[in-house]
Amino acid sequence: MKRTFGNKYAFTLCGLLILALLMAACSSANGGESEANAGNGDEQSGATQDKLKISYWTMDRHDMDYMQQKVDEYNATNTDNIEVEMKVMADNYNQAVDVAFASNQAPDVLKVNDFQTYVNKGYLASLDELLDAEFLAQFDGLLAENVYKLNGKVYTLPNTGQYWRLLYNVDLMEQAGFSEPPKTLDEMVDAAKKITEIGKSEGIYGFASNFKNGSGFTRPAYASGSLDSETSHEGYNYQTGEFDFGMYRDVVEALRRIKTDGSMIPGAESLDIDPLRAQFAQGKIGMYINHSSEPAVYTSQFPTDIRWASALVPTSDGVIDGASWVNAGGYLGISANSANKEAAAKFIKYVYSQELRNDYQEKGLGLSVLPFVNESAGKPELAGIDGFLPTQYDGIYPATPISITETKLEGKKAADVFIQYILTGSPDLDAAIGDLNDQYAKALAAARAEGLTNIEADPSFNAGNLQGSLAAK
């Protein structure tokens, strides 16, 4: 996920350009009072003189109009004379943050896009010291280690998440003789086969995944694997502190069977997610696995008249031992260098107000992971959202060291190895799993030796304990 630059001078030039833009544009960034507060007070109105300006940076474009409206409302109504300036900086966001902190131009409030890096570089202030205990109590049970807190200190808070589901064409499922979506992997294989049998002459296939890249594997595997396991996620066993890709054997075999019996859409090896969505919208795909952004996709990007729905992803035996992984990273943090931390904390409390968060969800801008929202918000105004709403089986997992481990990996990534097996039947699956476990163990040991990760074994971890943490009580 880190971007590397082959030429250090190109990086420096890019950094200088970003710095120049920051210095020209961010007149309200950190570093003391704003121009509105400086100068001769007799020459300004009392309201203008007393305004405390703070800056807020985000990389989110999908909700920028809504959030700008809410920032404007806050500026007009708050009784603390705080004025927030919001900037959307979606391009090269992490690099812009680095340059801003290096040049003492960092915003007061910022979207946390890379938690461990931001904390390790000292960018974020501890929220425990800025937000009261009653406010923080709303997040009890949600603040996963290395996602929202580190070494017992909270640096950012959860907001929305991506909920993973099996999407299916209701009409095709019914025509194939199924009154409900599959609950086991065997049932998924069977449904894909029967949908293909009735629809192949019209170019309809039972299952699809975007195997052009690794997400073609990780989308179904992470979703099914986390539901199936009490100990593991992303191939990492929390209890032992090591990787064990045996957790994916069943889902990999199921996808291989779908490929072997001709139920996988042709050309899956070069399929990307948007072409997959386009074919699903045309009624050419029976099932696929993705997250809760899909209702918006089929409302605007690929409008469709087909009857489709979503359900929890099948497991090996239909039993849910763990929890369905919810991809929910950090939201807002406060700059450790901010001279306006108390004002920044007041703005964050506003952003997390019940009214704002309920409205955000009801408008379909994102599905909350906050129980206090899911208990009170109305259903989002978005067709197809029903099956993605939080259930008792959804949960936020602690971070795993997979990303940093793969920077030290000498062989192929697990996703690439498993995709090769799904598409070709080679190499031998058991041998491949053993080799991956060995390669990842070596890479993880190297990462730990260099101090690149502090994630260690947690013998007490049980993914079943994550159940019930997000849905309305």
**Of 48 and 428, the one with more pLDDT:** 428
Report whether pLDDT(38) > 50: no
CA dist., res. 124 & res. 414, Å (int): 33
With a pLDDT cut of 70, the percent of the chain lying above it is 89
Chain segment 431-473, per-residue pLDDT in tens: 999 999 999 999 999 999 999 999 999 999 999 999 999 987 6
The mean per-residue pLDDT over the stretch 49-63 comes to 92
CA-nearest of 419, 405, 384 to 448 is 405
- CA dihedral angle for residue 40, residue 45, residue 49, residue 55, rounded to 10 degrees: -130
Q: Are 222 and 235 in contact, with CB atoms under 8 Å apart?
A: no
Q: What is the pTM of this model?
A: 0.87
Closest CA to 463 of 287, 320, 334: 320
> Which CATH code for domain 163-326+399-466?
3.40.190.10
Cβ burial 162-180 (10 Å sphere, 16+ → b, else e): bbbbbbbbeebbeebebee
pLDDT band at 49 (very low <50, low <70, confident <90, very high): low
pLDDT at 28 over 50: no
Confidence of residue 414 (pLDDT cuts 50, 70, 90): very high
CA gap 380, 429 in Å, rounded: 42
Question: Residue 36 above 60 pLDDT?
Answer: no
Cβ-based neighbours of 398, under 8 Å, separated by 6 or more: 144, 145, 146, 147, 238, 455, 458, 461
User: pLDDT digit string (tens) for 121-167?
Assistant: 999 999 999 999 999 999 999 999 999 999 999 999 999 999 999 99
Inter-helix orientation angle 414-424/429-449, to 10°:
170
pLDDT digits (tens, 9 = 90+) for 355-396: 999 999 999 999 999 999 999 999 998 999 999 999 999 999
CATH classification (class only), 8-41+49-157+329-368? alpha beta
- Averaged pLDDT score across all residues of the chain: 91
For CATH 3.40.190.10, the residue range(s) in the chain are 8-41+49-157+329-368, 163-326+399-466
pLDDT above 50: residue 23: no
Q: What is the mean pLDDT of residues 22-47?
A: 41
Least-confidence region, from 13-17, 91-95, 134-138, 432-436? 13-17
Q: How far apart are the first and last CA of the chain?
A: 36
Whether the Cβ atoms of residue 316 and residue 184 lie closer than 8 Å to each other: yes
Q: What is the four-CA torsion angle of 465, 396, 226, 241, rounded to 10 degrees?
A: -80
**What pLDDT does residue 229 have?**
97
Q: Across residues 247-271, what is the average pLDDT?
A: 98
Q: How many CB atoms lie within 10 A of CB 198?
A: 15
